[in-house]
Structure 1
C-alpha cells in the first residue's frame, strides 16, 4: 500500500502539468477528477486528444496505463470511466448529456452504476424499477418520499445531472474521528469481541489527543456476519447506537462508554465489522471532573495516556501494548503495520 500511495502521488503530479491544483480532486486512492473546462484547449484540439496526452504522460512517468472518462460533469465522466472506458481498447470514453438515453437508460443492473449499492437495488427492484430508464421517467417526488434525499439524487443521476464544482473544496460542517475494522473471521465470543472494541476505542482516543480534542458524543456501529444476516430468525444486518458523554479523550473513559453501548444492544450474534467514532468535539484544554472519581486519578490517567502516546510515536505502536492485545482474537498488533487496512509493504523493515 505504501508503494500504491507513492505511485498515486506521482500520477497526480502529472495531472498538475495539465490543470491547476484547484481543479484537481483526488477522489480515491486510484481515481482523480480533473476539471479541464478552461484548460483543455491549451493542450490539444479536443478533450479526447488531451486525455490521450495525459495517458501517455502518466505512462512515461510511471509505466502505468490509466483509464480515462470524459464527461460534461463529474458524474458523466465517472459513468464513462466505469461503464465504457474500462472495456475500450484505448481505455478512454467520452459521455455527454445527449448520450444518456442511449448509454445510461438501457442499464438494468443498477449495481453497475456508480453510487447504487445492493440494498438500494433490492428496493428499486421491489418497486418495479427495472432499468435506469424507469428511474429517469419516475415521479421524482415519489422517489424522494420513499428514499429521502437519496431518491432525489437517484433521479438526477438517471439524467446524468451533477452540479458539483471541483474547485469548491468541501469543508465538513462537523469534524469527527473514528476507526473501523472488518474482522478476519466471525467473532461470537464476548471476551474476544470486547478486546477488539477496546483496541479500537483506544486508537480513536489517541487520535483525539493527537488533535487536542475531546468528544462529547460517541458512536458504535456493529455489523453482523453474513451467516447472521441471511438467517431468517435474525434479519438485523447490525446495529448503530450513540450517546452523549462528558467531554473526554481518555482511553479508560471512552472504552467504558463504548463497552456499555455494546452490552446494551448485543444479543450474542456473530460479528464481522466494528466501527467507533467520536463527534461534537471541543478543545481538550478544559476538563469536567466526575464526582465519583478523584482529581488525582483523572490526572494520573491523563498523564499515562499521553506518555503511552509519546512512546508509540517515537518507537512505534508495538513498542508498548497491553497484555490483552496478545490474547486470542486481538487484532491491534497484527494491524499495526497496515496502511489503510492493507499490507503497507514494510514486512522486512
Structure 2
C-alpha cells in the first residue's frame, strides 16, 4: 500500500509568534525579528508574511530592507519560540502517536498519516487542511504542508509546490514529481542539494533533477562516492527510509561539540580566551553526563582579509537562497585538525591543555578569528575507562567532585552564578552567552 506523509512547516515562525503576541495579524503587520544591538548588518532571523509581500527577502540583513518600508523590529526570544513550538507539537499529539511524528526542526515536523486515514475517514489532503486550519485557528500561526508518498516527496512538496498553491498545501507522488520537479530550477530548492553539490552537478551537465536522472550512475558514484545513492534515489523521487527507521536509528559513534561566531575580529590571543571558556563548558558537560572522550577536534575560521585601505579583498563566491546569502566553499578560510588523546578523560585541565596545544599548532597568529568550533568524540561512560600506569584516580575523583558541585550551583542559581576568572577578561563571551538560547537572547 502506498504510504502518505505530511511535512508541516510553521510559516515565518519567529515573526508570526511576535505578531501574535502583540495581537497583530502576521499577514498585515510588518515585522522583522532581529537584534537591534547588533547593528544594521545583523541578519533578520525571520520576517512577517506582510514583509514578504513587499518583496523583502527572508534572512536578509537589516540594511538590505528597502528604504521607505515602515516596520517593527522585534528582538529574538528563542525560549518563547521553543515554548510555542512545543505547544503546537502537543496539539499534533491530539491526532497522532509520537511514534508517527518526527520533529525536524523548531518549526517543522514530518508525520506518517497512513494508519490514520481510515481512522478519521479522510484523504491526506483533507487531513492536512484540518491540521493547517487547527494551527491557525488555535494559535494564530500560519502553517503550510507538503503531502508525499514518501518522506522526501513530502519535503519537496512543502518546499516547492506548496508555495504556489492557493491553500499552501502541495502534493507529490513519483509521477507528479517527474512532471513538476524534474524541470524545476534552481536545483538548490530541492532538499539535500546545496550550492556545493549544485556546482559539481553543473560541471557534469545537470542543472535540475531531470538532468541528474539522465546522468550515468557510475559517473555519480565516481564524483560523490556513497552519497551518490541518495542523489540517484532522489532524482527519481524515491526514498526508502520510513518513520520507524528514523526512530530506531542509533549512531555508531557519539560526539559532543559547541561553536560560536564572534561578533568582531578577534586576535590570536583573544580567541584563545574564548577557546578556554568553551573547553571549560564542554568538560563540565562531560562530567555531568558521566562520559569521557578519547578524541578532540578544533576548527577556527578566519575573518575575511582586508586591503591596506580597509577594503575587503577579492570578493568570495556567494550563494543567495531562501535562507540568506552565504559564502560558497570555505577552503583556505580556516584551520582545522583533530587529535586522539593518550587516554580517555573528562578532565578540564587535560582537555584544556590538549585544545590549547592544538590551537597553537594549527592557527595562524597573524590572522583575525571570527569562528571557533570544538568537538570531543569516542565518548564512553566513565566507568568503562581503563586505567594506565600514569593515571591518578584520586585526583580525577576530586576534580569530578568539584565539577559536579559547580554544576549544582549553576543549576540552582544560574549559569553566571559561578565563573572562572577567564570569563571576566575583556575578550570573553561566556557571561553573555550564558544568558542566551541558541546564540540569541531568551
TM-score normalized by the length of structure 2:
0.72
Q: 1:208 to 1:129 in 2, by over 3 A?
A: same
Structure 1 pair 33–237 and aligned structure 2 pair: CA distance change class (3 A): same
Find the partner of 1:150 among 210, 220, 227. 227
Quick check: 1:205–1:251 contact (8 Å CA) kept in 2?
Answer: yes
1:95 to 172, 175, 180: 172
| Contact 1:217 1:280 (8 Å CA) reproduced | yes
Which stretches in structure 1 are left out of the alignment for 5+ residues?
345-349
The answer to whether 1:165 aligns with 2:242 is: yes
Offset at residue 181 of structure 1 (A): 1.3
Q: Distance in 2 between matches of 1:247 and 1:280?
A: 8
Q: How far off is 1:215 after superposition?
A: 0.7
Return the alpha-carbon distance in structure 2 between the equivalents of residues 325 and 290 of structure 1: 35
Partner SS state of residue 177, structure 1? strand
Distance in 2 (CA, whole Å) between partners of 1:97 and 1:239 is: 43
Distance change (3 Å), C-alpha of 1:94 and 1:232: closer
| Structure-1 separation of matches of 2:121 and 2:435 | 45
**Quick check: 1:76–1:95 contact (8 Å CA) kept in 2?**
yes
TM-superposed deviation, 1:299: 5.0
Would you say 1:254 and 2:351 are equivalent positions? yes
1:24/1:167 contact within 8 Å kept:
no
Deviation at 1:42, TM superposition (A): 2.5
Aligned with 1:173: secondary structure?
coil
Give distance in 2, aligned partners of 1:213 and 1:29: 28
Larger displacement relative to structure 2 (299-308 or 69-78): 299-308
Matched, 1:203 2:300: no
Matches within 5 A, 1:1-349: 1-168=78-245, 169=247, 170-187=249-266, 189-227=267-305, 235-245=331-341, 246-268=343-365, 269-285=367-383, 286=385, 288=387, 291=390, 298=396, 300-344=398-442
Task: Give distance in 2, aligned partners of 1:4 and 1:49.
Answer: 28
- Cα distance, 1:310 vs structure 2: 2.2
Q: CA deviation at 1:137?
A: 0.9
In 2, the alpha carbon distance for the partners of 1:227 and 1:324 equals 28
Q: CA deviation at 1:202?
A: 1.4
- CA drift at 1:309: 2.1
Q: How far apart are residue 247 of structure 1 and its match?
A: 1.5
Which whole-Å deviations, capped at 9, do the CAs of 1:230-278 have from their partners, x for residues lacking one?
A: 7599941334321111111111211111111122111243333222111
- Aligned equivalents of 1:140, 1:186: Cα separation in 2: 45
Sort the Cα spacing of 1:288 and 1:317 in 2 relative to 1 into closer, same or farther, 3 A.
farther
1:268-326 deviations in Å (ceiling 9; x for gaps): 433332221111122223574674x9766555544433332222122111111122212
- Aligned length, in residue pairs: 342
Name the CA shift for 1:128/1:186 in 2 (closer, same or farther; >3 Å). Answer: farther
Question: Measured at CA, do residues 110 and 240 of structure 1 come closer, stay the same or move farther in structure 2, by a change above 3 Å?
Answer: farther
Q: 1:214: how far off? A: 0.7
TM-score, length-scaled by structure 1: 0.90
**Which deviates further from its counterpart, 192-201 or 238-247?**
238-247
Unaligned runs of 5+ in 2: 1-77, 307-311, 317-329
SS in 2 for 1:148: helix
Change in Cα spacing, 1:110 to 1:326, as seen in structure 2 (3 Å) is farther
